[in-house]
Amino acid sequence: MPKTFQETPYLFYFLKYAEALKSMTFFTSLFCLTLWTSCNSNPTPLSTHNIEQILQDSIKPATMTFDIILEEVTADFLMGKFDPSKNDKYILMKPPFSSNNMYARKEVMEAFKAMQAQAKIDGIQLTVVSCLRDFKLQKAIWEGKWNREKPVDGKILPPLSELKGKERALRILEWNAMPGTSRHHWGTDIDINSVNPEYFETEKGKKEYAWLVENAPKYGFCQTYSEVGSNRPTGYKEEKWHWSFMPLSQGFTQQYADKIKDKDITGFLGAESAVDIEVVKNYVLGINPACKAMLNLPTALLEEVAQEPILPIQNTDVEIIAPQ
């Protein structure tokens, strides 16, 4: 992930000495600070306030930028039919960054670590509860619901004799993707803190979500599934926990639209309904307009999904903030 750190020479040494302060005695720290300021053409007299300010400044975010990552991938990759443990672009995310061990793209891991660190400074705790899910895992989730082994929106589906085919698939699609169509296949999308909608109605959940809405875009993340309505007429229900790392996922979304057709989505119970539902247009591309605006998909296809004209994007650089 190309990064450009915008630091002056003075700031570089400044940060190094500020880190050293944490382990030095007061007098040693004072000596080092005196040396540092003596190199400055406009030295400021030392005081308790100066020392405290230096320590505070050492944990302030520094700006770094990176470009949209364009990477050619296969149809099997897009549909989650690969082993991330054998792909050197993936890393095993572990606690305290995640609730348990799970794979993620390395770029996603780095961006989340930076976001988590800043959130902690702001008094917000962020933890990834789900990231990469391959085709097999998504199939187990889907068929568990299809076969009435797992609930859908808190309730077990009616028997197949009462609810079948397209109608049964649409019920599951309120919250869960068909195998081969989930953005979680790519390791670019993360679920944060909880996948229970009720959690984000609590005081704690509301505070965390408000922080994410304001700050997550600075790190390249976009809430993929916003509220369903006139701005997003198709797709899954709102997921306040689901955030996509757009510098990577925008390219994968574009390639999915180019390479995968509804008829390609097979290999699980109910797959025959994918064509009738138009799952690629209505679900894979049925994302938050704010995220969609970052995409470089064929304009005609996007306008068909959005039901409104889309202006071209002139600048695809993403600026994020990373604590030191």
Average pLDDT, stretch 105-118?
Answer: 97
The answer to whether residues 61 and 322 touch, using CB atoms and an 8 Å cutoff, is: yes
Residue 158 and residue 37 share a domain:
no
pLDDT score recorded for residue 128: 98
pLDDT-derived band at 228 (thresholds 50, 70, 90) equals very high
Average pLDDT, stretch 70-78?
Answer: 94
How far does CA 174 lie from the centroid of its chain? 20
Give the percent of the chain with pLDDT over 90.
67
pLDDT at 6 exceeding the cut of 60: no
Residue 300 and residue 211 share a domain:
yes
pLDDT score recorded for residue 290: 87
Give the end of a domain, one of 45, 60, 75: 60
Residue 151 and residue 14 share a domain:
no
- Give the chain's mean pLDDT: 79
pLDDT-derived band at 291 (thresholds 50, 70, 90) equals confident
pLDDT-derived band at 284 (thresholds 50, 70, 90) equals very high
Residue with tokens 């699980």: 268
Least confident of 15-29, 42-56, 116-130: 42-56
Average pLDDT, stretch 39-60?
Answer: 40
Residue 109 and residue 39 share a domain:
no
Range of the domain at 49: 4-60
User: 177 or 19, which is more confident?
Assistant: 177
Q: Is the sign of the CA dihedral 305, 112, 193, 151 positive or negative?
A: positive
φ, ψ for residue 269 (rounded to 5)? Answer: -65, 130
Residue 147 and residue 245 share a domain:
yes
User: How many domains would you assign to the chain?
Assistant: 2
Predicted confidence (pLDDT) per residue in 143-176, tens digit: 999 999 999 999 999 999 999 999 999 999 999 9
Residue 228 and residue 143 share a domain:
yes
Average pLDDT, stretch 14-25?
Answer: 43
User: 236 or 312, which is more confident?
Assistant: 236
Average pLDDT, stretch 23-41?
Answer: 44
pLDDT at 82 exceeding the cut of 60: yes
Give the end of a domain, one of 13, 40, 60: 60
pLDDT score recorded for residue 294: 61
DSSP collapsed to 3 states, the chain: CCCEECCCHHHHHHHHHHHHHCCCCHHHHHHHHHHHHHCCCCCCCCCHHHHHHHHHHCCCCEEEEECCCCCCCCHHHHCCCCCHHHCCCEEEECCCCECCCEEEEHHHHHHHHHHHHHHHHCCCCCCEEECCCCHHHHHHHHHHHHCCCCCECCECCCCCCCCCHHHHHHHHCCCCCCCCCCHHHHCCEEEECCCCHHHHHCHHHHHHHHHHHHHHHHHCEEECCCCCCCCCCCCCCCCCCEEEEHHHHHHHHHHHHHHCCHHHCCCCCCCCHHHHHCHHHHHHCCCCHHHHCCCCCCHHHHHHHHCCCCCCCCCCCEEEEECC
Residue 140 and residue 26 share a domain:
no
Residue 106 and residue 29 share a domain:
no
Give the percent of the chain with pLDDT over 70.
69
Give the end of a domain, one of 60, 77, 104: 60
Residue 277 and residue 296 share a domain:
yes
Q: Which tokens hold the place of 290?
A: 């704010």
Rounded to two decimals, what is the model's pTM?
0.72
Residue 156 and residue 26 share a domain:
no
How far does CA 315 lie from the centroid of its chain? 20
pLDDT at 31 exceeding the cut of 60: no
Which CATH number goes with the domain that contains 317? 3.30.1380.10
